[in-house]
Amino acid sequence: MPLGGYTPPMPLIVTGTIGIDTVHTPTGEAERVMGGSCAYFAAAASFQAPVRIVAAVGGDWPESHRQLLERFENISMEGLELRPTGTTFAWGGRYFDNMNKRETLFTDLGVLEGDPPMVPEAYRGSDIVFLGNTHPAEQLRMLREFPNPRLAVADTMDLWINIANEEVMELLQLVDGLVLNDDEAEQLTEIRNVISAGRKILEYGPSWVVIKKGEHGCVLIHHNGVATMPAFPADVDRVVDPTGAGDSFAGGMMGYLATVDSIDFNALQTSLAWGTVTASFTIESFSLDRLAALSREEIDERMRQFQSMTRVG
Ligand code: AMP
């Protein structure tokens, strides 16, 4: 598995939620900490490529959250809109004993119910677009602003598949790739087997789909074949909070894709490893704390370990 033929990374543009999370795990809890799909994605991707955020927060957004996000050097916050009279998206979740499954306790949409955030003029020409988890109407609007991107990839989740199914299906006709977890793939297709569900999703529009299976790794289903990747093995005491693992996976994956000349099957297969390794750090702390303390060298070192663990032949 090559570490990547290096060209200067392209800027990645991302939309999604900047959220205030309250998380309960079997071993601890975190109250009103920094979270959201856009935040995790941007932090994770920023180790490999410049990231441009398009999102909105309300007047209640804590200053400490802004300071945490500002610790990531490669993130442009020009597209982060502060709406003083609105409230920030807030989410609460509880993990079950094995940390692989969770239930949502509450979702307060807040500013997500208003107009979608504006894309700053300086972000024009962004060639790689990631539509992180948020209302699909916002994902569609963002995609319309970038009609011919080099790569457009989306994520979605149960809430949106339930309440905005038509828009999710419209989105799938327009994106190159989709990243989602096994339960969401089943919900979208009514097919339990991930390979069969993945092939069904390709019929909806994308050229490829990555289905994540938590601690059991992930599968890429592509018009040109199938690839599989285990999760990075972690002792139980290293898994503090799985929140954001999916968004960090996507961030590591897309960050790598922003550095390659040709986004083909091989590049996608390699990107699965970057996503896996990046997400393996996120789950070592609550919120974005581990990512904020992470260095590119640590990612590269863990990538080398992962390469030797997954080598065949
Ligand atoms: P993940 O664990 O990668 O699936 O993502 C967890 C993050 O997604 C949390 O930080 C939440 O704030 C955010 N989140 C939860 N529900 C939603 C939703 N319906 N739309 C967008 N983001 C969400």
pTM of structure: 0.96
Q: Whose CA is nearest to atom 6 of ligand 1?
A: 244
Tokens of 224: 């040109």
Tokens of 287: 């919120």
| Cβ(206) – ligand 1 distance below 6 Å | no
For the chain, 313 residues long, give each residue's pLDDT as a single digit of tens: 445 555 689 999 999 999 999 999 998 999 999 999 999 999 999 999 999 999 999 999 999 999 999 999 999 999 999 999 999 999 999 999 888 889 999 999 999 999 999 999 999 989 999 999 999 999 999 999 998 899 999 999 999 999 999 999 999 999 999 999 999 999 999 999 999 999 999 999 999 999 999 999 999 999 999 999 999 998 888 899 999 999 999 999 999 999 999 999 999 999 999 999 999 999 999 999 999 999 999 999 999 999 999 999 8
**Cα–Cα distance, 23 to 28 (Å, whole number):** 8
Query: What separation, in Å, do the N-terminal and C-terminal C-alpha atoms of the chain show?
Result: 12
**Cα–Cα distance, 9 to 210 (Å, whole number):** 22
Maximum CA pair distance of the chain?
Answer: 59
Task: Give residue 4's pLDDT.
Answer: 52
Residue 289: CB partners within 8 Å, gap ≥ 6? none
**Cα–Cα distance, 237 to 255 (Å, whole number):** 28
Contact 146, 152 (CB under 8 A): yes
Q: What H or E segment, with its residue span, contains residue 177?
A: strand 177-181
| Cβ(15) – ligand 1 distance below 6 Å | no
Question: Which residues is 209 bridged to in the sheet?
Answer: 178, 221
Pocket test for ligand 1, best of 20, 91, 240, 254 (most atoms within 8 A of CB): 91
Q: What secondary structure letter does DSSP report for 264? A: S
Instruction: Determine the Cα angle at 138 with ends 112 and 166, to 5°.
Output: 110
Q: Identify the CA nearest to 50 among candidates 19, 23, 77, 86.
A: 77
Q: Identify the CA nearest to 41 among candidates 122, 133, 161.
A: 133
Task: Give residue 7's pLDDT.
Answer: 65
Q: Identify the CA nearest to 44 among candidates 262, 284, 255, 312.
A: 255
**Cα–Cα distance, 127 to 140 (Å, whole number):** 16
| Cβ(25) – ligand 1 distance below 6 Å | no
The two counts, helices (H) then strands (E), for the chain are: 11, 14
Task: Give residue 101's pLDDT.
Answer: 86
Task: Give residue 163's pLDDT.
Answer: 95
**Cα–Cα distance, 118 to 52 (Å, whole number):** 12
Q: Of ligand 1's atoms, which has the minimum distance to the CA of residue 157?
A: 19
The residue whose two tokens read 């989306």 is 154
| Cβ(90) – ligand 1 distance below 6 Å | no
Residue type, 26: P
Task: Give residue 3's pLDDT.
Answer: 53
For 71-120, the three-class secondary structure string (H helix, E strand, C coil) is CCCCEECCCEEEECCCCCEEEEEEECCCCCCEEEEEEECHHHHCCCCCCC
